[in-house]
Chains A and B, each alone.
Chain A
Amino acid sequence: MYNNYSNKAYNVHIIHTDKFKTITIKINFKKLLTKEDVTYRNLLGKVLLNSTKLYPTKKDLDKQTEELYGIGLGYSNNLSGNYIISSFNCNFLNEKYTEENMNKKSLEFLLEIIFNPNIENDNFKYFDLAKRLVKDEIDSLKDNIKKYALQRLFEMLGCDNTLKYNSVGYLDDLEKITNNNLYDYYKKMLKSDLIDIFIIGDINDQEIIDMLNNKFNINTVKKPSKTHFLNQKITKKVKKQTETLPIEQTNLNIGFKLKDLTDFERQYVLYAYCFILGGSPNSKLFKTVREKHSLCYSINATFKAIYNILYITVGTNKSDVKKCISLIKKEFNKMAKGDFDNNELEAAKITYINSLKDIEDYQGSILKMYESNIYFNYDLIEDRCEKIKNVTKENIINLHKKIYMDSIFVLEGENNEKN
């Protein structure tokens, strides 16, 4: 059961269920994204989750998480098309399984982290440490080869929009940020961001609302101005870039742009399309490139609907890149003629429907579903379950006409021909 208790300053979404022994809370601060926000907000998360006035060192703060029966505490920055969403979240055992008053104490703890930072003379106490942590993260971006290769593809695809930004930050921005800047930024975030509070579990609404009225001290009135969705410019020529690193395996990523998708295509047809092309071990790409030609271990086709892109990732040998590209193009072009078994479309549908049942098994995924309903106007479970059934072969052939190959990025090893 869903209840909305919104006021002019923030929205509260409460989802009731007694299926779980835990309670999950997520508080989202959202604004239109610019490049410097990424670094600012990563840094902000580091200082706020380090300590507070009440728990003045990391040690004190982490001890308190243990006192609250191992409450899981998190902060994340989610780049979502035109917006950046900074989320504070926690997951804890319902007090029925621990001791009285723990629900209240847990929410209080989360609010303490957001509203009562460890500040002295308008300066965050552990600013320097936070800066070192962010620098480490930026420096380590290349350590995860697959993620790094994908990021490079996004930079090519999103050269003129927010898709190109990584979610960790940039050294040039980091150098410029002073402790005072960060404090100003923090105050501005509280004041002007769009705020949504999501709570799911077996809880007493009134108790939560009273606490928020008491402790969630934000009163500014705000309205969203823009959609999350990004439009991509289509260019005819396919761009290609190659980079070399001292690694064993070559990562080949191919990016496609999507144009003028309908709501139905974006939410349902695109899922089925990707599933058939490269979304399962039964897909065209998996069967051809891996099973028939033994050129790779992993191959996948995925999409980011908010950004209107689709991409294919493969790990292979340097000398097999050409062959992979040609096989992938061949399989991709087969989609134009609807050259796939009807069973594959049925498999996509049933997998989708089963994944809806899976959503109901986890608090985090139920919460995410409501988030996408509120932010992207996506359908809720019942509608999703009905609409996916309507996807036809013709829908997939039509969608194919709106997909344009745009960029190829190859991250290759220095010498990886030993077989």
Chain B
Amino acid sequence: MKKTNFKNLDLDLYYEKLDNGLQIYVLPKTNINNIYVTFSTKYGSNIIEFKHNNKNVKVPLGIAHFLEHKMFEQEDDTDIFSFYSERGADCNANTNYTKTTYLFSGPSFLEENINMVLNYVQSPYFTDENVNKEKGIIIQEIKMYQDMPDTVLYDKILENCFKINPMKYPIIGTIDSVNSITKEQLYTCYNTFYHPSNMFLVVTGNVDPNEIINIIKENQLKKEFSEENKIKIKKYDEPNEVSKKEDTINLNVSIPKCAIAYKIKIEKNIQNLFYLLTLFDCKFSSTSDFINNLIDEEIINDSLIVDFDNSTDYLIMFVIGETLKPNVLLDKIKKEMTNLKINEDDFLRKKKTLLSSIIYMTENIFSLNHNIMNDIIKYDKFNENKYNDIKNLNYKDFTKLIQTINFDNYTTLIINPKKQS
């Protein structure tokens, strides 16, 4: 077991890699009651073409999410939800572009609960009948998302950002792709991506790391796994340009929404991400002159939203707003991004809030767990130096970096209200 200190934040992270390749990260926080456990595979909706038994396969969109639903099906009819419910724990699962996570939280029955998540995720049971039954449920889930304008906005923007990378498709898939999924395809995906060597557990909360690692070790020793196979996923030579420069759609919204997304090729590290976030924050948060002028001119009434996605080699920076004049707003944002001058005072103030946001994050076992998972997925290891990394951000590097980026590579989207028929 390896112990690393979460620098400057009074927290320790324990790490162990088992013989079967499973990785375990434990971060004890003993002044609170709850415990949060996540069990993830590095397999998300982005992976649809890969090698299985040395043959190239292509699977339907949304299959990672479908598989997530189906893992709850057990041959002996064990009801996973009942199991956790009877132990007063919350249990759930989720799928994003780059990983699938099975999780529970609850302050008691720790050993049983951990064994259960390992056992049900490691015992797939798919039949034609239980696969078909799930389709109706997932199609209702798709329709629920189609009625959420913000979800549609993100999906559409990513669709228009990427030309070939599967990031351009919604995580959940489409009604047609979901309807086409078979149990054989589910087993293919399961056998390729759910080997322990492609998976990791993150435990945060009121726990003893030794106890956790022993429970998991003992559980895994009882099971047999195939030899670790090298996973070969299709690589996409994604062009730098966005796939569609502009787009307009109609949805059930009252006030039009608009968004611009910059597709940025940049080395993936935490400093670069922080610098870009700081730039967009300085430009488009409520402390900027730009926003205050837009409000005075009555182009917008509320602040804009800045967000990002770094699931691929590209960093996508989003700016989203609500306005009756979407074209005017988009033009102003584009123009604002041609002036990259930021005051040092503003930079330092934003840095101060970034630093305190790290402390806020460590107060919550859910945020901590997600932070660790994200690091593992994005950087393949946990970054225990985050606090110091932010402390070391400096104005000179910042200004130098942002000058090197091409902010002409963007896509815009306008969402207009749908007329009621």
Contacts and interface: CB of A to CB of B under 8 A. Distances in A.
Interface stretch (A133-141, A179-187, A212-220): A133-141
Interface in A242-291: 245-249, 280-282, 286, 290
Nearest to B348: A66
Contacts of A416: 143
Contacts of A58: 286, 292, 295
A69 B33 contact: no
A353 B88 contact: yes
B144 interface: yes
* Interface size range on A against B: 35 or more
A350 B88 contact: yes
A67 B298 CA distance: 28
A53 B152 CA distance: 41
Interface in A187-229: none
Given A140-B255, A358-B107, A59 B286 contact: yes
B146 A248 contact: yes
Interface string B349-382: 1101101110110110100000000000000000
A52 B158 CA distance: 40
Contacts of A133: 301-302
Contact of A136 (B31, B91, B255, B285): B255
Nearest to B353: A70
Interface string A380-419: 0000000000000000000000000000000000101011
Nearest to B250: A246
B137 A297 contact: yes
Contacts of B108: 350, 354
Interface stretch (B79-87, B180-188, B194-202, B394-402): B79-87
A70 B89 CA distance: 33
A313 to B, nearest CB: 12
Contact of A69 (B34, B356, B362): B356
Contact of B136 (A282, A294, A357): A294
A346 B254 contact: no
Contacts of B291: 59
Given A63-B287, A145-B252, A295-B136, A357 B357 contact: no
Interface centre among B88, B137, B252 (most CB of A within 10 A): B88
B360 A249 contact: no
A132 interface: yes
A66 B349 contact: yes
A416 B140 CA distance: 10
Contact of B288 (A59, A67, A281, A354): A59
Interface string A31-74: 00000000000000000000000000111001100110110000
Interface stretch (A16-24, A116-124, A168-176, A301-309): A16-24
A343 B292 contact: no
B420 interface: yes
Given A62-B287, A358-B34, A297 B175 contact: no
Contacts of B107: 354, 357-358
A294 B133 contact: yes
Interface string B1-43: 0000000000000000000000000000001111000000000
A139 B357 CA distance: 33
Contact of A357 (B33, B82, B418, B420): B33
B408 interface: no
Contact of A248 (B147, B255, B357, B420): B147
Interface string B278-300: 00000001111101100100100
Contacts of A333: none
B254 A143 contact: yes
A280 B298 CA distance: 46
Contacts of B68: none
A21 B254 contact: no
Contacts of A19: 31-32
B136 to A, nearest CB: 3
Contacts of B393: none
A297 B285 CA distance: 37
A140 B350 CA distance: 31
A418 B179 CA distance: 12
A238 interface: no
Given A132-B298, A132-B301, A347-B82, A143 B34 contact: no
A97 interface: yes
A286 B292 CA distance: 48
A101 B175 CA distance: 58
B360 to A, nearest CB: 7
B363 A246 contact: no
Interface in B64-109: 79, 81-82, 85-89, 91, 106-108
Contacts of B420: 245-246
A167 to B, nearest CB: 17
A286 B85 CA distance: 13
A86 interface: no
A163 interface: no
B287 A66 contact: yes
A129 B287 contact: no
Contacts of A249: 140, 143-144, 146-147
A111 B59 CA distance: 59
B287 A140 contact: no
B85 A282 contact: yes
B253 A143 contact: yes
B363 A62 contact: no
Interface in A76-121: 93, 97-98
Contacts of A295: 136, 140
A315 B148 CA distance: 13
Given A59-B288, A414-B421, A416-B143, A296 B137 contact: yes
A297 B144 CA distance: 8
B322 interface: yes
Interface string A324-335: 000000000000
Nearest to B175: A418
B259 interface: no
Nearest to A350: B88
Interface centre among A141, A247, A286 (most CB of B within 10 A): A247
A354 B85 CA distance: 11
Contacts of A298: 140, 144
Give me the 9 closest cross-chain CB pairs, A-B, nearest first. Answer: A294-B136, A350-B88, A354-B88, A281-B81, A70-B353, A249-B143, A297-B140, A357-B33, A297-B141
Interface of B: 31-34, 79, 81-82, 85-89, 91, 106-108, 133-141, 143-144, 146-149, 175, 179, 252-255, 285-289, 291-292, 295, 298, 301-302, 322, 349-350, 352-353, 355-357, 359-360, 362-363, 365, 418-421
Interface of A: 19-22, 57-59, 62-63, 66-67, 69-70, 93, 97-98, 129, 132-133, 136, 139-143, 145, 245-249, 280-282, 286, 290, 294-298, 315-317, 343, 346-347, 350-355, 357-358, 360-361, 414, 416, 418-419
9 contacts: A249-B140, A280-B81, A281-B81, A297-B141, A346-B86, A351-B88, A354-B108, A358-B33, A416-B143
